[in-house]
Amino acid sequence: MKSIKYKLLLIFTAIILILNIGIGTFTTTAITNQLVRDGHDHLMDMAKQEARYVQARIDGQLAYISSLAQNPILLDENLTFDEKVAFFEEEAKRSGYLAFAFADKEGNATVFNSKHETTNVASREYFQTALSGQASVSDLIISSATGELVTIFSAPVYDQGQLVGIIYGRRDGNTLSEIVSSVSYKQTGYAYMINNQGVTVGHKNTDLVFAQDNDIENMKTDESLRELGELTQKMTSREIGSGEYTYHGVTKIAGYAPIQDTPWIIIFGVEKNDILSSINLLVKTLAFISIAAILIGALITYFVSSSISMPIKTVTIAAQEIAQGKFDVMLSIKSKDEVGQLADAFNLTIKQLVNYQGYIDEICDALQDMSHGDLRIELHKEYAGQFKKLKDNMQALLENLNSTLLQINQSAEQVNSGAEQVANSAQALSQGATEQASSIEELSASLAELTEQIRKSAENAKSAHEKSGFAEKELHGSIDQMKDMITAMNQITLKSSEISKIIKIIDDIAFQTNILALNAAVEAARAGSAGKGFAVVADEVRNLAGKSAEAAKNTTVLIGETIKAVENGSRISSNTAASLEKNVEVTMEAVALIDEIAQTSQEQAMAIVQINQGIDQISSVVQTNAATAEESAAASEELSGQSNVLKELISKFSLTETNYLLYSKNDNVDSDDSFLLNNNMVSVTDGKY
C-alpha cells in the first residue's frame, strides 16, 4: 500500500503541475490572441499607410501629366512633329515613361516617337475619363501599340478653353510591382496589389502579374484556395479590413486597404507563425518557471508530509500489535495537533480493550457451553456500552432457545399423532379410489359401445340423405320434362288452329272454283259445239273443287278431334306435374328430416366423445388420488419418524426448569397456544424432561 507521504507528495505535485499548465496555457493563449489581434491591426495600418503612399505617387503622376497637357509645345503649330517627338522622348526618359501620345476627340492617337505610330483609343476607359475633363490612371492593361502590360496616365488637353483631345503616357506594367516590392514586414511579410476584379496588378513575383492571376477564379478550380479566394472577393468591396487564409498549407494574416482614385487595392500579408515568433521565448520562460515551481512545491510537500506521516506510522504499528493480541502498548507522541489527539484516544482505547477482553472471555465460555447443549448459563460480569446490550441479547437468546425447544418437543408429539391419522385416512382414500377406477372402466366400455351404434346411425342417415337428394334431383327432372311436354301440346293446339284457318281458306277456294266451273259450263253450253271441250274442262274442275271441299271438311273434323285429344293430354300432364311437385315437396321434407337426424346423430356422437374424455379425466384424477393417497401415507410415516428423531435431538439439550413459564409470557404466542402449552407441558426435573 502506498504511504500517505507519497500520496500527499503525488497529489500536491499534480496540483502544482496542473495549475502551472493551466496558467501557462491561459497566458500563452491570451498573449497569442493579443499578438494575432495586434498583427491584424498592424497589417491594416500598414496597408492604409502604403495605400496613401501609392495614392500620393499616383497623384504626383496625375499632376505631372496634367501639367504636361498644358505645355504649349503640344499644340504649337510652328514646331515640326519631329521636334515634338524629340521633346516628349526626352521627357519620357526623364520621368520614367515609355512614351507619350496625343489623341483627338475621336480617339485617333499619335505616339510621339520616331516610328510615328498611330492607333485609336476611343474605346479605352482612360480616354473616356480624360475626355470628360478629369485626369485619370488606368488599370493594368495590354497596350494596343506594343502588346505589353502598361499603366496609362491621361489628362485632357485644352486650346483656348476648348477641349481638343487628351495626352496620355504609358508606364511599364512592372511599376506597381516595384512599388510593393520595396516594402516588407518581419521575416515573411510582403505586399501586393489587385484591381477591383481581383486580378493581381502588382507583386514581387511578376509572373503572377503577367499571368493576370486571379484568386477569385482560382478557387473555382482549386478548393485549397477557397479561403484566399473568399477573402479576395471581400477585398474587392473596397473596404479596409483584415483576414486569415491558408496558402500551400501555411496560415497567413492579411491586412488590406483600397487606394483612392484608382481601381487598385493594396494587401499586406505575413505568415501567422512569423507574428507569433516572439511568443516562443515566453513559452520557454513559463516552462522554466513551472519546472522550478514544481520542484520547490514537491520539496516542501515532502517535508510536510513526512511530519504528518511519521506519527501516523507509529500509531499504525501499535494498532498492528493490538491486532495480534498485545495490549501492553503505550504511545508517547508529544504533538498537540490532531495526530497527538489521535494518540491519546488510541491509549484510552487500549485501556478499554483490556476491559473488553474480560467480557469476551466470559462470552466465549458461555458459547462453548451452549455448543455442548447446556442452556443453563448465566453471565456474572457487569458489562458496559455495547457489551451490555450483547449480554442482554445473549440472555434473551438463552431464554428463547429453552422456550423454543420445549415448544418444538410438544409440536413433534402433535405432528406424530397427526401423521398417524393422515396415514389411516390416506389408506381409506386409496381403497375408495381403486373401487371408483373399476366402476369408471365399466362405464367407459358401455359408452364406447353406445358411441359405435350412434356412429352407424349417423352413417345410415348420411346415406339416406344422399339417396333422397338423388331422388329429389330426378323428380325435378321429371317436372321439367312434363313442363316441356305441356308446352309442346300447347304448340300443337296453336298450330292446329292455324291449320283450321288454312283449311277454311281452301274450302272457300273450292267453293269459288265450283261456282266458276258452273259459270264456265253455262258459257260452254251457250257456245254450242265450239264450247264442248271447255265444258269438259269445267266439269273436271267442278269435280276437283268438290273433292277439295270434301277433303277440307274431313281434315277439319280430324283437327277438331286432335285438338280435343291434345287438350285432354295437356290437362292430364298438368295434373301429373302438380302431383310430381307435391312428391318433390314431400321428398324435400323427408330430406330435411334425414338431415336433422344425421346432425342429431353427429352431435350425440360428439357428446359421447366428450363424455368419454371426461371419464378418462375422472379416471386419471382417481388414479392420481390413489397414488397421492399412497404417497400421503408414506409421507405421514416418514413425518412420524422425523418427529421421533426431532424429540431425540431435543433430549440432548439441558434446559432450565422455569422455561415453561417463559413461553406463556412470550408476546409472539397467542392466548390459546399459551394455554395449550401450559396444560400439556411435560414435567422437568434435574434439568431433564
Q: What is the CATH number of the domain that holds 528?
A: 1.10.287.950
Identify which of 543, 538, 490, 501 has the alpha carbon closest to the alpha carbon of residue 518: 538
Q: Residue 633 and residue 623: Cα distance in Å, rounded?
A: 15
Whether 272 and 396 map to the same domain: the answer is: no
Residue 137: how many CB atoms within 10 A of its CB?
A: 22
Whether 272 and 401 map to the same domain: the answer is: no
Domain boundary among 278, 294, 315: 278
Give domain status of residue 171, yes or no. yes
The per-residue pLDDT for range 18-44, each reduced to its tens digit, is 887 888 788 778 887 888 898 899 999
Q: Residue 180 and residue 210: Cα distance in Å, rounded?
A: 15
pLDDT band at 550 (very low <50, low <70, confident <90, very high): confident
The per-residue pLDDT for range 215-236, each reduced to its tens digit, is 999 999 999 999 999 999 999 9
Domain boundary among 226, 249, 278: 278
Q: Residue 454 and residue 458: Cα distance in Å, rounded?
A: 6
pLDDT, residue 334, reads 66
Whether 263 and 396 map to the same domain: the answer is: no
Model pTM?
0.43
Q: Rg of the chain over CA atoms, in angstroms?
A: 71
Give domain status of residue 367, yes or no. no
Which phi and psi (to 5°) does residue 541 adopt? -65, -40
Number of domain units in the chain: 2
Give domain status of residue 665, yes or no. no
Give domain status of residue 376, yes or no. no
Give domain status of residue 31, yes or no. yes
Q: Dihedral through CA 195, CA 199, CA 201, CA 204, nearest 10?
A: 130
Is the per-residue pLDDT at 343 higher than 80? no
Identify which of 203, 210, 211, 196 has the alpha carbon closest to the alpha carbon of residue 179: 203
Give domain status of residue 363, yes or no. no
Point out the least confidently predicted range of 183-192, 275-284, 672-681: 672-681
Whether 260 and 399 map to the same domain: the answer is: no
pLDDT band at 265 (very low <50, low <70, confident <90, very high): very high
Whether 28 and 153 map to the same domain: the answer is: yes
Q: Are 127 and 118 in contact (CB under 8 A)?
A: no
Q: Residue 483 and residue 418: Cα distance in Å, rounded?
A: 92
The per-residue pLDDT for range 147-183, each reduced to its tens digit, is 788 999 999 999 999 999 999 999 998 888 888 988 8
CATH of the domain at 242: 3.30.450.20
Q: Are 252 and 269 in contact (CB under 8 A)?
A: yes
Whether 394 and 256 map to the same domain: the answer is: no
Give percent of the chain with pLDDT exceeding 90.
27
Print the domain residue range for 142.
20-278
pLDDT, residue 466, reads 75
pLDDT band at 76 (very low <50, low <70, confident <90, very high): very high
What b/e string do you get for 619-651 counting C-beta neighbours within 10 Å, with b at 16 or more?
A: beebeebbebbeebbeebeebbeebeebeeebe
- Give one DSSP letter per residue of 89-108, joined into a string: HHHHHHHT-SEEEEEETT-E
Which segments within 34-91 are labelled E, that is strand?
none
Domain boundary among 220, 251, 278: 278
Give domain status of residue 687, yes or no. no
Give domain status of residue 379, yes or no. no
Q: Any idea what DSSP says for residue 338?
A: H
Q: Tell me the mean pLDDT in the region 261-266.
A: 92
